[in-house]
A = this chain, B = another copy of it.
Amino acid sequence: MDAAGKPEGARAKITVAEFNKLIDQHLLLAAQFGMRAERIGHGTATLRLRFDAAHIRPGGTIAGPVQMALADVALYAVVMSLLGRVELAVTTSLNINFLKRPGPADLMAHAKILKLGKRLAVGECAIYSDGEDEMVAHVTGTYSIPPA
């Protein structure tokens, strides 16, 4: 068992292809923003947000809400990697610290579970500009898990 109480090496309960299909069919905003899952493990997920000039805000940087949306969907993928397609899991709180203004490039979100409980799942997500190593934003979020 690892720190989040899950068996190490367990398989994700949703695949990259399944999650991307879910984006296309049910997460309209994520689809419109141009998000794709690239890797999903048991309790981890990496998503890419394609750069889009429509996301620029004054100062030439990517708007904060676009970053929040990316983290939120990445954490949703993490929850599904552990529980399968619990589409009715909903975010109950999200906290974001903006660390660096990202330039015009794809954003990469690396999310992982901190704690999977019976009622709540808590995860964190680090966002980077593609190919850079300074963190752009750090997010923690809590999802409410619907009763089984």
A residues bordering B, Cβ < 8 Å?
2-5, 26-29, 32, 54-59, 61, 63-66, 68-69, 72, 87-88, 90-101, 114-115, 119-120, 122, 124, 133-135, 138, 140, 142, 144
Contact = CB atoms under 8 A, between A and B. Distances in A.
Given A65-B68, A138-B114, A93 B93 contact: yes
Q: In the assembly, how many copies of this chain are there?
A: 4
A119 to B, nearest CB: 6
Given A96-B94, A97-B93, A114-B99, A65 B54 contact: no
A29 B63 contact: yes
By secondary structure, the A interface counts as: mixed
A93 B139 CA distance: 10
* 4 A-B pairs with the lowest CB-CB distances in the bound complex, closest first: A65-B69, A99-B115, A58-B87, A95-B95
